[in-house]
Structure 1
Amino acid sequence: MQSTHSISLTVVEEIAKREGVSPEELRPPLHYAIDTDALDSLFQSTDSEKVPSTVKFAYNGYMVSIDETGDVDVTDHTSVTEADKTVV
């Protein structure tokens, strides 16, 4: 986990990079999709037993996954749902 950034800021930066915009230009703001204060507090815990193993949520067409180390993975939501489909 990055000590200089909050987890929510890291998520915003990753999505902004994918969108090719500055973090300030993301619309809608991340807090419309998830309580950013609660998200940050989950990963600021000093007790490793209180940090969740994974947090996943959808935002603006992306699936965001954050593991217990604070690594943020952003994938296109459509690629996640397409992979789940079975061709008959």
Structure 2
Amino acid sequence: MRDEDALSLAVVTALAAHEGVDPTRLEPPLYDVIDPDALDELFTGFEGNPSEPPAVVTFRYGDCVVEVTSDGSVAIQDASD
């Protein structure tokens, strides 16, 4: 997986947009909450069954709930929603 394709980078970018900050200014850094390398490796080569929904990882980041799917999508919601 190329760095620019890393799922963890997509999460950082989405979190920064949600928080309205530069990705380098996220507090706390993603690696304080979840292992970015493990996240990147989790779905590497994941084929899944196209007739079933994609695999999902959900975790808390501050006041947000982050949902990452094996198809590469990232969804962020406020935990209070």
Same fold judged by TM-score > 0.5? yes
Structure 1 unmatched ranges of 5 or more: 80-88
Percent identity between matched residues is: 39
Match of 1:17 in 2: 17
Match of 1:40 in 2: 40
Structure 2 unmatched ranges of 5 or more: 49-53
- Residue 54 of structure 1 aligns with an amino acid whose one-letter code is V
Write the distance in 2 (CA, Å) between the matches of 1:67 and 1:75.
14
Match of 1:58 in 2: 60
Write the distance in 2 (CA, Å) between the matches of 1:23 and 1:7.
14
1:76 aligns with one of 65, 75, 78: 78
Q: Given the two structures, how large is their TM-score scaled by the length of structure 1?
A: 0.75
C-alpha distance 47-69 of structure 1, shift in aligned 2 (>3 A): closer
1:78: Cα distance to partner? 1.2
Asked if 1 retains the 8 angstrom alpha-carbon contact of 2:46 and 2:70, the reply is no
Q: Deviations over 1:15-70 (max 9, x none)?
A: 111111100000110011101110001122x2425xx7110000011101011211
Q: Given the two structures, how large is their TM-score scaled by the length of structure 2?
A: 0.81
Runs of 4+ residues over 6 Å off in structure 1 = none
Structure with bigger gyration radius: 1
